Structure 1
Amino acid sequence: MLELILRDDCRLCDEAIAVLAAARAGDFSSLWVDDDPALTARYGERVPVLRDRRGRELDWPFDVAAVRAFLAAAGGPAG
């Protein structure tokens, strides 16, 4: 399962969601950092960040090709 780490009112996060859809990344959960001081400290301005079930992370900026390569390396859907 993928997890997209994001913030409220984040234009780049909206773009990341569109990239995931274009890459046919499948279902993902959202992890909002705004109300969690530990997550805010860890991710700060890095968001959006895509994380897989093994804990690997793909930092923004990413495109369809990067998402597909990330998924392929994780053994997930690659389009």
Structure 2
Amino acid sequence: MIDLKQIQLFGTLACHLCEQAQEILREFEQKGQISLIHCDIVDEPQWLELYRIRIPVVAYGDQELGWPFDAETVASWLKKLDAK
């Protein structure tokens, strides 16, 4: 069995950009390339401080990808993660 990368999507409710990011990432999740974890920044004070004006942000470990991004950008970012 392949270990899927657990990718965090930092966002919040009523954020249309976060919804767009989720749609892009859902494609990768449906293809079995990632496991997506939704992180609402209002749930953790440190997330709110870090990401308030930057959401949506995708993260894996200490590697982040900030908005704007599209499927091609995400694919390239994931490939770079694999190379590390």
| TM-score, L = length of structure 2 | 0.78
Segments of structure 2 that go 5 or more residues without pairing to the other structure are 1-5
**Is residue 47 of structure 2 the alignment partner of residue 39 of structure 1?**
yes
The structural deviation recorded for 1:29 is 0.5
Q: How does 1:1-79 map to 2 (within 5 A)?
A: 1-23=6-28, 24=31, 25-52=33-60, 54-75=61-82
Distance in 2 (CA, whole Å) between partners of 1:35 and 1:74 is 27
**Which protein has the bigger strand share?**
2
Distance in 2 (CA, whole Å) between partners of 1:38 and 1:57 is 16
Distance in 2 (CA, whole Å) between partners of 1:9 and 1:38 is 20
Instruction: Provide runs of 4+ in structure 1 moved above 3 Å.
Output: 22-25
* One-letter amino acid of the counterpart of residue 44, structure 2: D
How many pairs does the alignment contain?
A: 75
Segments of structure 1 that go 5 or more residues without pairing to the other structure are none
Q: CA RMSD in A?
A: 1.7
Question: Percent identity, aligned pairs only?
Answer: 27
| TM-score, L = length of structure 1 | 0.83
Q: Which has the higher contact order (CA 8 A, sep 6+)?
A: 1
Distance in 1 (CA, whole Å) between partners of 2:27 and 2:45 is 32
